[in-house]
Amino acid sequence: MKTYLVTGGAGFIGTNFVYYMLKRYKDIRLINVDALTYAGNMENLTDIKDDQRHIFVQADICDSEAIEKLFEKYDIDYVVNFAAESHVDRSITNPEIFVQTNVQGTLNLLNLAKKHWMVEDDVYKEGVKFLQVSTDEVYGSLQDTGYFTETTPLCPHSPYSASKTAADCFVQAYHDTYKLPVNITRCSNNYGPYQFPEKLIPLIINNTLHHKQLPVYGDGMNIRDWLYVEDHCKAIDMVINGGRIGEVYNVGGHNERPNIFIVKTIIAYIKENVDDSVSEALIQYVEDRKGHDRRYGIDPSKIKEDLGWYPETKFEDGICLTIQWYLDHKKWMEHITSGAYMEYYQAMYEKKAEDA
Ligand code: NAD
Ligand code: TYD
């Protein structure tokens, strides 16, 4: 049985990864460490609250003592580091926390993995691995043509992508210097269930349903390369279990769409299936994001050729599945917009403390 230390597993991708892995592997143990910032939501994990294979621990990845206890208590085989401050707009107004969590937190995890996994100089326990979940945003922005490959120079523009780049550099440095077994995955924009509604797709779905204005930055022609979150989870699983040590793998499914196309697709779906009074009149072009990257596009050849990964969900299907998920989970969204989701996890913790 393998034990995974999954950080940030109460956030969007981490939650999906936890569900993906529990479904795929019977014999597995997931230690899910999350600080429960505004982006962490215990309500995401209610479906597995009685699953003994999943152990949730509220802790900050920057807290050496708390994380060290987990290395001491559990025989950890893999660290999968999702925990991060993840929103570009927030990084523009408050970069410091991005350095703290994304850089310092990653460094802390690297130090603890090295300390607990090293058996002698440069030699590590059999089969262990540190997987850093990174982003295509570390490569910067593309013009109209070309794709990001693993050898594209790192050229981040936002404080978010700068912090993720710094973290990637530390992960690579721990491999190059101490031979720590690592992989880095760099994925394009994810969409799907449990995404916090500060991000484009859930924000637009929620606003459309409530007849609120739909803010489109700049001319709406910035391009993102969208991947259904489950396909990202599959890629991470394959890299943990088959990725060559020390390698970077780009993950993306060639689903480039301008933002305005995404917004219009969501309006059309809701108009057709839910409420025919909504229309594109809700769209409001607003001031552009500072330093707004124009285009992202991933070349996923390496992960396809090396590991046989391919995306299973076409964008046209994934976007319908996603909109439908938010329609089926209106309470989940309401708990976030009202702030009640914060109380929810507190209540759950008070109960756990009583049970203990
Ligand atoms: P998210 O913001 O939804 O979730 C982040 C989670 O990390 C939250 O549960 C939060 O509580 C937790 N967290 C934050 N600071 C922490 C800390 N100091 N200690 C412990 N936990 C902490 O983010 P997401 O969209 O799920 O992204 C997960 C990872 O994937 C991030 O590393 C992000 O850079 C990367 N990524 C995201 C995308 C995307 O499109 N969302 C694409 C590529 C890569
Ligand atoms: P976002 O979901 O924040 O992801 P990222 O910045 O990591 O790519 O934004 C996706 C795209 O949508 C990005 O080009 C910015 C744009 N955007 C809007 O036009 N309006 C919005 O309200 C938001 C949140 C994003």
pLDDT tens for each residue of 301-338:
999 999 999 999 999 999 999 999 999 999 999 999 99
CA of 184 to the centre of ligand 1 (A): 15
pLDDT tens per residue, range 183-213: 999 999 999 999 999 999 999 999 999 999 9
Q: Is the CB of 192 under 6 A from ligand 1?
A: no
Nearest in space to 30 (alpha carbons), one of 16, 18, 40, 42: 18
Ligand 1 midpoint to CA 276 (Å): 35
Q: Structural domain boundaries of the chain? A: 2-287+295-355
Quote the ligand 1 centre to 235 CA distance (angstroms).
17
Tell me whether residue 296 is one of the annotated catalytic residues: no
User: What are the residues facing 228 on neighbouring strands?
Assistant: 191
Q: pLDDT at residue 352 above 60?
A: no
Please give the mean pLDDT across all residues of the chain. Answer: 96
**The overall pTM is greater than 0.85:** yes
191 is catalytic: no
Atom of ligand 1 nearest to the CA of 185: 44
**C-beta of 86 in contact with ligand 1 (< 6 A):** yes
Q: Which ligand is nearest to the CA of 261?
A: 2
- 199 C-alpha to ligand 2 centroid (Å): 6
Q: Provide the pLDDT confidence category of residue 347 given band limits of 50, 70 and 90.
A: low
- Find out whether the beta carbon of 234 lies less than 6 Å from any atom of ligand 2: no
Mutate to test the pocket of ligand 2, among 186, 187, 259, 288 (most ligand atoms within 8 A of CB): 259
How far, in Å, from the CA of 51 to the mean position of ligand 2? 35
Query: Per-residue pLDDT for 229 more than 80?
Result: yes
**pLDDT at residue 356 greater than cutoff 50:** no
Dihedral sign (CA 318, 320, 324, 327): positive
Write the pLDDT tens digit of every residue in 245-274.
999 999 999 999 999 999 999 999 999 999
**Quick one: how far is CA 78 from the chain centroid?**
17
Which of 43, 77, 136, 237 is catalytic? The answer is: 136
Closest CA to 320 of 188, 187, 191, 189: 191
Ligand nearest to the CA of 287: 2
Q: Tell me what pLDDT residue 4 has.
A: 98
CA angle centred on 246, ends 100 and 187, rounded to 5° = 60
- Residue 133 buriedness (CB in 10 A; 0-12 / 13-18 / 19+): buried
Q: How far is the CA of 81 from the centre of ligand 1 (A)?
A: 9
Q: Are 298 and 190 in contact (CB under 8 A)?
A: no
Is the beta carbon of 70 within 6 A of some atom in ligand 2?
Answer: no
What's the 12 CA to ligand 1 centre distance in angstroms?
7
pLDDT above 60 (res 355): no
Residue whose CA is at the smallest distance from ligand 2 atom 5: 88
> Does the C-beta of 91 come closer than 6 Å to ligand 2?
no
Active site residue 310: no
| Burial (CB count within 10 angstroms: exposed 0-12, middle 13-18, buried 19+), residue 58 | middle
Testing ligand 2's pocket by substitution, the residue of 163, 187, 199 carrying the most ligand atoms inside 8 A of its CB is 199
Q: What is the pLDDT of residue 343?
A: 82
Judge whether residue 62 has pLDDT over 50: yes
Structure tokens at 158: 């936002």
- Tell me which of 3.40.50.720, 3.40.50.300, 3.40.50.11440, 3.30.56.10 is the CATH number of domain 2-287+295-355: 3.40.50.720
Ligand 1 neighbourhood includes 62 CB (under 6 angstroms): yes
Query: Is 70 exceeded by the pLDDT of residue 214?
Result: yes
Is residue 348 predicted with pLDDT exceeding 70?
no
Mutating to test ligand 1, I would choose from 63, 86, 87 the residue with most ligand atoms within 8 A of its C-beta, which is 86
Q: Calculate mean pLDDT across residues 215-230.
A: 98
